[in-house]
């Protein structure tokens, strides 16, 4: 497997979302190994996530790249695999940025791109959940406009973003 190399990237790097293929699968998987133990406890391994997606008709996932360097992973779920339940939004199922590339704005930019895409498609809400505590992304999501719903999914606080009325805030 390829070793993760830390090229010089900065907040001006171009962020893109790219399909995960046989050619880039390994490098997306390796990103999970850069996370601290606390962060690894808050997000599933990228390899596990991509395998899990193969068993859902509702999963969509991409590698997050900065200047063509893999820096993260995002996965959405567009509904329930059980047709008997109604789901009125999209779920941000998995989201991670490799530790060497955190705090450079890549995660925010990737999520902003997804929000704009969902808004154009007419989706009203984007749901998410996250753990609380050390190295929690809770404040990151709040800055983007997510608010707690008051519900919990397993041990994670459920958040929702009103896409219909969302306006991008400057960082």
Domains and CATH numbers, the chain: 13-160 (3.40.630.30)
- The closest alpha carbon to 153, from 47, 51, 53, 77, belongs to 77
Buried b (16+ CB within 10 A) or exposed e, 106-145: bbbbbbbbbbeebeeeebebbbbbbbeeeebbbebbeebb
Q: What is the pLDDT of residues 28-87, one digit of tens each?
A: 999 999 998 888 888 899 999 999 999 988 899 999 999 999 999 999 998 765 555 455
The pTM score is: 0.88
């Amino acid at each position: 497997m390829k070793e993760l190399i830390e090229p010089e990237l900065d907040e001006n790097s171009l962020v893109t979302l790219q399909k995960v293929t046989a050619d880039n699968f390994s490098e997306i998987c390796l990103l999970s190994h850069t996370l601290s133990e606390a962060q690894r406890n808050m997000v599933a391994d990228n390899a596990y996530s991509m395998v899990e997606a193969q068993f859902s008709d509702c999963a969509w996932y991409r590698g997050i790249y900065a200047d063509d360097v893999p820096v993260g992973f995002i996965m959405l779920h567009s509904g329930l695999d059980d047709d008997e339940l109604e789901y009125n939004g999209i779920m941000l199922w998995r989201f991670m940025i490799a530790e060497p590339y955190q705090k450079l704005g890549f995660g925010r930019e990737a999520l902003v791109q997804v929000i704009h895409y969902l808004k154009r498609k007419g989706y009203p809400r984007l749901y998410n959940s996250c753990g609380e505590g050390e190295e929690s992304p809770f404040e990151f999501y709040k800055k983007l406009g997510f608010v707690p719903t008051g519900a919990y999914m397993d041990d994670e606080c459920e958040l929702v973003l009103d896409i219909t009325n969302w306006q991008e805030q400057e960082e």
